[in-house]
Amino acid sequence: MKNQETFLHQEAAADVEERILEVNKSFTSPAIVGGLVGAFSEIWPGATLAVDSDRLDLAPSAHDLIIHAMALHWADDPIGQLVQSRLALKPDGLFVAAFLGGQTLHELRTSLAEAEAKLTGGLSPRVLPMGDLRDLGGLLQRAGFALPVADNRTIRVRYKCLSDLVRDLRGMGETNALISRHRRVPPRALFELAESIYASAFKDADGYLIATFELVFLTGWSPDASQPQPLRPGSAASRLSDALGVDEHSANDPSNPEQR
């Protein structure tokens, strides 16, 4: 029986599998990067496994597929993770990353912050900050990948109580590991107040707490001469005005409507 607490990893693995199946190419030497990769290794048995440490244990140009599995949001140096993954790919190898994005647990973040501010008059980091899709998409280009694509999927889950949400976060290895977090055990009153705030602001019609998880997917290819290349500026064989069916005017043409 599958671990129900890792449902999010199972969803991410299924989404990654769907994306790879859409690629008209067979992959024979896959690798999976991450610390909790069970859901992914079930789909790609026999894949090389590498822990998402600062230095990835992957040989250069050894793999035609690398899956970064639900770990990139924890990376101190996400660009470094992407660059190392690209270097471990063969030419025209595929890289796919699945991880949590900035909208994840925004309800919990808000409720804990408001509760702590009321109890102590201050705030401490209790939910990992995560990147926005608009910023994350640029990571692939900075890391040297070709044909980069970034997209996301939002999953909303219902919980009877806050402790059920915390149980799932522990099961997925997503509890607070920030160095700057408070080391003292938080008072019980903090979570009681946070749950009350949570229920008042983020409860559905049936009385369940709503938790949002944003899955972000990054897809890119190791550069290769066989891939489509952008044309040189000015090398087009036809004019844009012809394709659009409009008249073309120079910038200084008095008949240009923009000059009137």
Helix-strand-coil split of the chain, %, nearest 5? 35, 20, 45
Domains of the chain: residue spans and CATH: 4-226 (3.40.50.150)
**pLDDT tens readout for residues 25-77:** 999 999 999 998 999 999 999 999 999 999 999 999 999 999 999 999 988 89
* Reported pTM: 0.80
Contact assessment for residue 67 and residue 96, using Cβ atoms and an 8 Å cutoff:
yes
**pLDDT tens readout for residues 87-135:** 999 999 999 999 999 899 999 999 988 998 888 765 555 555 566 777 7
Give the SS3 label for residue 74: helix
Structure tokens at 30: 């896959």
Show the beta-strand stretches assigned E in 20-143: 30-33, 48-50, 63-69, 89-100
